[in-house]
Amino acid sequence: MKKNLSLEIIKDERKKSRIDKISTLIKKTISEVFLTVDLNYSNGKNVFVMVSHVELSSDGKSAKVFLETLKNFSFDHEKVVEIIANNSSRIKKEFSTKIALRYTPKLKFELINNK
C-alpha cells in the first residue's frame, strides 16, 4: 500500500512539472506575440502589456493568461481589455503558428489591476 501511495505522489509531481514547463513555454510565446502585434488606442498611442503568469488546465487544452500594464503609464483598464478582445483572434492565430504542441490550448486573457 505504501508503494502505491508513493507512486501516486511521484506521478503527481511529474504531471505538475510538465504543466509548469508548458505554462512557461506559453508565457514565453505569448510575450513574443505581444512584441510583434501592434496594440493601439484609437488615437494611435501604443498599449504596453506584459504577461504576468499563465494558468494551464490539467489536460493542457485551455490556458488563462494574466496580463499587466506598466505601472508608470496610466492606461484605462476597460479600454485595454477592449483592445485585447478586439485583437484576440490575431493574437491567437500568431500564437498557434509559433508554438509547437500537440494541442494548442484555448487562450483566455485577463488583465490584472496593479493599483
Amino acid letter at 84?
A: I
Alpha-helical (H) ranges within the chain are: 2-36, 77-86, 88-98
What's phi and psi for 79, nearest 5 deg? -65, -40
Nearest to 67 by CA among 85, 78, 54: 54
CA distance 94 to 77: 24
Q: pLDDT: is 1 or 52 the higher one?
A: 52
Q: pLDDT: is 20 or 71 the higher one?
A: 20
Q: Percent of the chain scored above 70 by pLDDT?
A: 79
Query: Confidence band (pLDDT; 50, 70, 90) for 3?
Result: low
Residue 74 has pLDDT above 50, yes or no: yes
Domain that holds residue 92: 2-111
Of the CA atoms within 13 Å of residue 19, those in its CB half-sphere come to: 18
Here the CATH number for the domain that contains residue 21 is 3.30.300.20
Structural domain tally of the chain? Answer: 1
Single pTM value for the model: 0.76
Query: Confidence band (pLDDT; 50, 70, 90) for 1?
Result: very low
Q: Could you read off the pLDDT of 19-49 as tens digits, one per residue?
A: 888 899 999 999 999 888 877 776 667 778 8
Lowest mean pLDDT: which of 17-26, 44-53, 94-103? 44-53
